[in-house]
Amino acid sequence: MKYLTGFFSGLVTIMMAIIPVAILWQVLTGGLVFEMNVIENFVGIITSLGNSGFVGLLALVFIMYFFLCGDKCKWK
């Protein structure tokens, strides 16, 4: 189980490093990254959370908890 958890933790870390680079690439060049419009997808997620009202706010808090807490927080 620890091997699987470590694998997915590393995968998420790599993806979290790629997202800012993809946004920067799209802003500087105007080209798509891997045939995806990263900025439009990001704005779509934010709009979706904003239109969901209180449930969207709870989802945003839940997502930010995992991004900001990282490995420091352990479920007990």
Both structure tokens of 17: 């490093």
pTM above 0.95, yes or no: no
Distance CA 25, CA 3 (A): 33
Mean pLDDT of 41-66: 81
Q: Among 32, 64, 35, which Cα is nearest to 49's? A: 64
pLDDT of residue 73: 63
Q: Can you give the residue ranges of every domain in the chain?
A: 2-72
Helical residues (DSSP H) of 30-70, grouped into ranges: 38-51, 54-69
Q: Tell me the helix, strand and coil percentages in the chain, rounded to 5.
A: 80, 5, 15
pLDDT of residue 60: 79
How does the average pLDDT of the chain come out, rounded?
79
User: Does residue 36 carry a pLDDT above 60?
Assistant: yes
